[in-house]
A = this chain, B = another copy of it.
């Protein structure tokens, strides 16, 4: 039996990279007392607030249940608030959340950037971006039908 294809090898590389870079990222963010997943959510809220829970879930491709739990933790830690104004429940950052995002943002950006720049040229990065965009869009489309 054929043990693998080019596609499956790509798959493994991408999966391992995601997992390993998450470990690295979490380790790095530890000093800011926040996790990579939490940062991702705070960042989205910061960019699009105010927004509803389902809009947020959609943006980060997470289930309704998943976002509910994540927001409970962030609310418990005082980073976000859920205000039930009129008929919709809006999510927004608290001052504490805003400050946290502000203080972490540039470091996280620099961290991600250096990890790529350490091993890929500008041209290679452009190519990788183009290819990953293609495949991610395709997967997203598949998922939606």
**A residues whose Cβ falls under 8 Å from a Cβ of B:** 1-11, 13-21, 23-24, 40, 47, 61, 105-106, 109, 112-120, 122, 124-129, 131-140, 142-143
Contacts and interface: CB of A to CB of B under 8 A. Distances in A.
A109 B123 CA distance: 31
Nearest to A125: B6
Contact of A128 (B2, B10, B16): B10
Contacts of A5: 109, 112-113
A47 B3 CA distance: 9
Secondary structure dominating the interface of A: helix
5 contacts: A1-B106, A14-B17, A19-B61, A20-B139, A128-B128
Nearest to A8: B112
B112 A135 contact: no
B140 A10 contact: no
Contact of A21 (B13, B20, B139): B139
B20 A136 contact: yes
Which one of A114, A117, A139 has the highest number of Cβ atoms from chain B below 10 Å of its Cβ?
Answer: A139
A132 B61 contact: no
A105 B2 CA distance: 10
Contact of A132 (B1, B8, B14, B112): B14
A128 B135 CA distance: 10
A137 to B, nearest CB: 8
